[in-house]
Amino acid sequence: MQADIICVGNELLTGLIENSNAGFLSRRLWSAGIPVREVRVVADDERAIGEALGKALQESDLAILTGGLGPTDDDLTREAVAAILGLELVLNQQWFEKMDQFFSMRGIKMPDNNRKQALVIKGSTILENKRGTAPGAMLNTDGKFIILLPGPPHELQIMFDEQVLPYLVKKNQGKLTTVKTLKCIGLGESMLEERIKAIGKWDLPPISYVARGFEVDLQIKGSGDLESASVLIDEAEKRLRNVLGDHIFGSGDDTLADIVAKLLTEKKLTLSLAESCSGGLLSDTITDIPGSSKFYRGGMVAYSLKAKIEALGLDKELLDREGEVSDAVARAMAEGANSLFKTDLGVGITGIAGPDSDLSGSPVGLVYVAVATSKLCESRKLNFGGGRRAIKERAAQIALDMVRKILINI
């Protein structure tokens, strides 16, 4: 099985919206053993959509269209697909009533033009939309599969993972590409490569590297039948873990925050934060994890000197003496978080995210991160580049990695 992806939307062609759907679907299809032949991004234009679909059905077994299922006049995907297949659109009464409910639950009368979203291509199977009013659709015609998905990523992703992928995996049985991803932190791409090359001759499945900020994904790609590929991948993983140790923090879709959450939950420990330059990003990252309320008690974003003293309770003299951006203040923040929120682990982050330096003249990108427990307090001094957002992100990554390492050894 081979796929074509067609993303519909003027907003993609003007760059107003980043096209994250193409990457998401490509990754999912690839790991399900279905290579993507081509991705096309076309305008909200019936002719353009129809032409792209015609070509896709010539070349591939599977065509996935995203976007253009909204309620407005320029949403034309349904119409274009129906036209090229010579099928008609019919009103789905059930979906109509579902939308009516969706709006009345929100205390709003359903606008007339939403009616259009209950029009479905005759003979297609409706895909439920847990997060919006546009139904998806699956069609099977002349041995080809056509799938229509809504454009908003949070609607598309859950619909694809729950309703489409299981179906495709079943259809494509036994032809999976076997890939294992190891997630690393604390070593750059080239240092990782050096360590791996030092293992010597590598007669195992090939490894590729993808850097994401301070993290690097190592992908081991096996081929052939599932069983023999797995044996070789397992052997490769063993050798890599041997030389990389706890620089490997997880595998697959694991994030650093997932791993920290897992460790905290297992060890029944609680966490709190005191953030300055990271501005709440670390708190946001942690609370993205379902169930984080089990271990995360709270965080303080102490973005001003006053907040550090009056709200977080730091010693004014310490701040005057050491400066807001200092090792001592990061440590005091970590400990302050523990005493304010009554937790086992506290994190303190203070630094200069820029664009300007602070009054003391500390350089932009200078960040101190500290983690405290009742028994220890560890800290690191870092110099980040890459602009305001990158500095916030890297500070949060380092903090999570420090928490992870402490948790491993508790």
User: Which position has the token pair 């942690």?
Assistant: 286
**The two three-digit tokens of residue 346, written as one number:** 């506290």
| CB-based contact 239:204 (threshold 8 Å) | yes
Q: Which residues contact 171 (CB under 8 A, 6 or more apart)?
A: 1, 145
State which of residues 78, 247, 331, 392 lies at the interface with a second copy (CB under 8 A): 392
Phi (first) and psi of residue 256, to 5 degrees: -55, -40
Q: Which is nearer to a second copy, 146 or 281 (CB)?
A: 281
Q: Which of 89, 269, 307, 319 binds a second copy (CB under 8 A)?
A: 307
In whole angstroms, how close is the CB of 123 to a second copy at the nearest point?
27
- Is 152 among the residues that bind a second copy (CB under 8 A)? yes
- Rank residues 140 and 304 by Cβ distance to a second copy and give the closer one: 304
Can residue 220 be called a binding residue for a second copy (CB under 8 A)?
Answer: no
Kindly tell me the burial class for residue 75, based on how many C-beta atoms sit within 10 Å of its own C-beta (0-12, 13-18, 19 or more). Answer: buried
In the complex, the smallest distance separating the C-beta of residue 248 from a second copy, rounded to whole angstroms, is 17
Could you say which residues in the range 157-176 bind a second copy, by CB under 8 A? Answer: 158
Q: Which stretch binds a second copy (CB under 8 A): 69-77, 120-128, 244-252, 258-266?
A: 69-77
Which of 47, 122, 212, 316 contacts a second copy by CB under 8 A?
Answer: 212
Strands 36-42 and 3-8: parallel
Whether 274 contacts 346, CB under 8 Å: yes
Out of 98, 262, 388, 405, name the contact with a second copy by CB under 8 A: 388
Tell whether the torsion through CA atoms of 101, 104, 106 and 108 is positive or negative: positive
Q: Is residue 338 near a second copy by the rule CB under 8 A?
A: no
Residue span binding a second copy (CB under 8 A) among the ranges 17-25, 163-171, 226-234, 237-245: 17-25
- Three-class SS state of 288: coil
Q: Which is nearer to a second copy, 149 or 273 (CB)?
A: 273
In contact, 295 and 261? CB cutoff 8 Å: yes
Q: Binding of a second copy at residue 334 (CB under 8 A)?
A: no
Position 235 contacts a second copy (CB under 8 A) = no
